[in-house]
Amino acid sequence: MKKVLIMCTGNSCRSIIGEALVNAKLEGVEAKSAGVAPSGKVNPNAKKVLEANGIWKDEYYSKHLNDVIDEDFDLVVTVCDNAKETCPIFPKPTPKIHVGFEDPDGKEYAEFEKTYKEIEEELLPKIEEFFKSN
């Protein structure tokens, strides 16, 4: 089982959606998510879009990078520019990729649906491609 950490700033929208999509749709890959400055809550519209697609799990929550930094990940993915710029050095060398998405926080539900679709169509193939070539 390959382990992926998906990071953004607040760990309330994009990284949570990414975590859920990877766990639901990529066989042999387990994802967790974290934020460099977590909001401490999952955005209600992020939860709603995951529920609407049947992939919400109650174990998803907003957490700080420090909560998972000692875990062994095969790949770290940043999904916002701020997380990319502030991504720390991990205790063990871990490959990193960046696939940025616009933050839907504070916007209408339709923006969360758009973000979900973009993450599914852009991020998942990049993660699959990374593991095929490594």
Burial level of 27, CB count in 10 A (0-12/13-18/19+)? exposed
Which of 4, 8, 13, 21 is flagged as catalytic? 8
8 Å CB contact between 1 and 103: no
127 to each of 20, 40, 48, 112, how far by Cα in Å? 14, 26, 24, 21
Which of 7, 87, 99, 127 is flagged as catalytic? 87
Which of 21, 50, 65, 80 is flagged as catalytic? 80
Is 13 among the catalytic positions?
no
* Catalytic residue numbers, as ranges: 8, 80, 87
